[in-house]
Amino acid sequence: MLNLTKLSKSFRGTKVLDNIDFSIGAGEVVGLIGRSGAGKSTLARIVVGLETPETGSIRLDTQEITPGKGDARRRIQYLWQDPIQTLSPYLSAAGAVLETLHGFDIGRPQTRRARAQDLLASLGIVAQIAARKPHELSGGQCQRVALARALAAEPDVLILDEPLSALDVTSQLGVIDLLRRVHAKRSLSMLIVSHDIAPLRLLASRIAVLDGGQIVEDLPLPRFFATARHPLSRAYISTMKVQSDAA
């Protein structure tokens, strides 16, 4: 579905991504984990056109794409780390979703408002809340609205950049549950960037570890926990064990 080939990116002479080859299959949920500053978000931002790679190419299905341009802009949607900062303070929740429907010319103009309301309602945002602006919503509600906006574009790939990091624990569980339901219903391909392995264990079918600008481990979820060899992978697995022991 989505193939990244020989992707490289530097910031001020420091190589953040070094000739990375990476792919996400149709309907697959891939977790990308790594230390802070490892380049996880950079990779995600390159895929949607927020950053430009120095080398490499990106293919969606078999077509080479320019991220953020043409049909790729609709087909690959991005969920930002801090939902409250990424919703316009000038638009209501319903307005944000409507904007996407208008922008990508999805559905008949007369039915778009109802479509936006339905989409929001399916994610737990009722009409009364949909009329509110972001500052009147909780973090979890903002993340749901942002997700509704992304889904309104009817994407094939959803990139989620630390979708839980700005939320409290209760909201995190709600969003995890929501993402699982969305994936089950739509069979979207998802790339979830995270610095925490716990939510990836609940969401991903495959986990890739990014370190030193390279993918150092890339295994299906069960095999990752059973056979991962890289010290960073082992460290992440051990944090899970510590957490479960503590629980």
Partner 1 sequence: MTDVPMSLSKTYRRRLPRGFAGRGGLWLGLALLGGFVVLGFAGSFVSLPPPEKIDLLTRLAPPSAVHPLGTDHLGRDVLARLIGAVPVSLGAAIATMAAILAIALPWGLTAALAGGKVDALLMRLADIVMAFPTLVLALAVIGFLGASLEASIIGVAAAWWPSNARLLRALVLSARQRDFVRAAGLAGASPARVIWRHVLPQVLPPLAVIVSLEMASVLLVLSSLSFLGIGAQAPTPEWGAMLNEARPFFARAPHMLLVPGLAVTLAVLAFNLIGEGLRDMLDQREPYKW
Q: Which residues contribute to the site for partner 1 (CB under 8 A)? A: 48-50, 68, 73-74, 77-78, 80, 82, 84-91, 96, 99-104, 133-136, 138-141, 146, 149-150, 152-153, 166-168, 170-171, 173-174, 177
CB-nearer residue toward partner 1: 68 or 220:
68
CB-nearer residue toward partner 1: 4 or 159:
159
CB-nearer residue toward partner 1: 56 or 68:
68
CB-nearer residue toward partner 1: 69 or 229:
69
Can you say how many angstroms the Cα of residue 62 is from the centroid of all Cα atoms in its chain? 22
* CA separation, residue 125 to residues 94, 129, 135, 184, 204 (Å): 9, 6, 15, 19, 25
CB-nearer residue toward partner 1: 146 or 209:
146
Please report how close the Cβ of residue 158 comes to partner 1 at its closest, in angstroms.
12
Please report how close the Cβ of residue 236 comes to partner 1 at its closest, in angstroms.
25
Nearest to 22 by CA among 8, 10, 12: 8
β strands within the chain, DSSP E: 2-11, 14-24, 29-34, 55-60, 63-64, 76-79, 157-161, 189-194, 206-211, 214-220
Q: Which residues contact 71 (CB under 8 A, 6 or more apart)?
A: none
Q: Which residues contact 78 (CB under 8 A, 6 or more apart)?
A: 44, 45, 47, 48, 50, 150, 158, 159, 160, 161
Please report how close the Cβ of residue 66 comes to partner 1 at its closest, in angstroms.
14
Please report how close the Cβ of residue 233 comes to partner 1 at its closest, in angstroms.
31
Please report how close the Cβ of residue 15 comes to partner 1 at its closest, in angstroms.
25
Rg for the chain, CA atoms, rounded = 18
Round to whole Å and give the CA distance between 171 and 103: 29
Residue 195 CB coordination number (10 Å): 16
CB-nearer residue toward partner 1: 21 or 71:
71
Please report how close the Cβ of residue 212 comes to partner 1 at its closest, in angstroms.
28
3-state secondary structure at position 65:
coil
Please report how close the Cβ of residue 73 comes to partner 1 at its closest, in angstroms.
7
CB-nearer residue toward partner 1: 50 or 198:
50
Round to whole Å and give the CA distance between 201 and 71: 32
